[in-house]
Amino acid sequence: MQQQDPLYTDASLVAFYDAENDWGEDRAFCAALARGVGSVLDLGCGTGAFLAGIDAPVRVGVDPARAMLDVARARPGGESVEWIEADARHLDLGRRFDLIVMTGHAFQVFLDAHDQRAALAALARHLAPGGRFIFDSRNPACREWEEWQPHNSRRRIDHPLHGAVEAWNAAEHAAASGIVTYQTFYHLADGREWSASSRIRFTERAELAGLMAEAGLAVERWLGDWSGSPFTETAPEIIPLGHLASRA
């Protein structure tokens, strides 16, 4: 089951989101896919930087975290986007879209196959015939959680309000479930410290392929990173780019 993650629901921590996460390559790749399409749905839109920065006539962003959507609505360009507070697993807008994206590893917040099936079914339910989808999930073979430890994750963030902030992580991996529980810590110059505990699931490509087939989704290409490289067993990302499967 999904949990309420303070990184996304606590306004004090959401303030660090854009400072920490400048996913230039994924936004650029998805913006190229969105060029010339009529409608785009962003599932797990976060603070809305992607949708606010493209020109599609119809742009809808969905996220369960109100604090994230508050930032999205206030950002330049956000007034032209429809922002919806909702859980992707239960979404039914009664509309279909030419492009559906779910980036920033949002898919990994679904912690078991049941929730993953529900999210993929919602994606298929909202995808127009001839439309395309893309999302990302970290490749478990790369064991990225091993990098999320205090000794090798310490970093400085230049925050627009708080100045220089020291940040670090700690993480534990449960091999049986594929779930990684990780903590994020922010230490401000004035001595204040904020932290949050998060859980995400790492899913093998073969399992992911089976779940998408069940949902009626077909993969055109498996990418291994946001530069467009093909997936390999050692690629950092698992990125399916696809469309609705044809029905006999």
- Domain ranges, residue 74: 6-139+203-244
Token pair 């507070």: residue: 85
pLDDT band at 24 (very low <50, low <70, confident <90, very high): confident
Q: Do both 146 and 234 map to the same domain?
A: no
The pLDDT value recorded for residue 48 is 94
In a domain, residue 99? The reply is yes
Q: What average pLDDT does the segment 194-214 reach?
A: 96
Give 147-203 pLDDT, tens digit per residue.
999 999 999 988 877 889 999 999 999 999 999 999 999 999 999 888 889 999 999
| Structural domains of the chain, count | 2
The pLDDT value recorded for residue 1 is 40
Identify the burial level of 192 via C-beta atoms within 10 angstroms of its C-beta, where 0-12 means exposed, 13-18 middle and 19 or more buried: exposed
Q: Do both 59 and 18 map to the same domain?
A: yes
Q: Do both 110 and 53 map to the same domain?
A: yes
Mean of all residue pLDDT scores within the chain? 92
pLDDT band at 22 (very low <50, low <70, confident <90, very high): low
Q: Do both 194 and 233 map to the same domain?
A: no
Residues 114 and 120: their CA atoms lie apart, in Å, by 10
Q: Which of 143, 178, 186, 139 is nearest to 162 (CA)?
A: 186
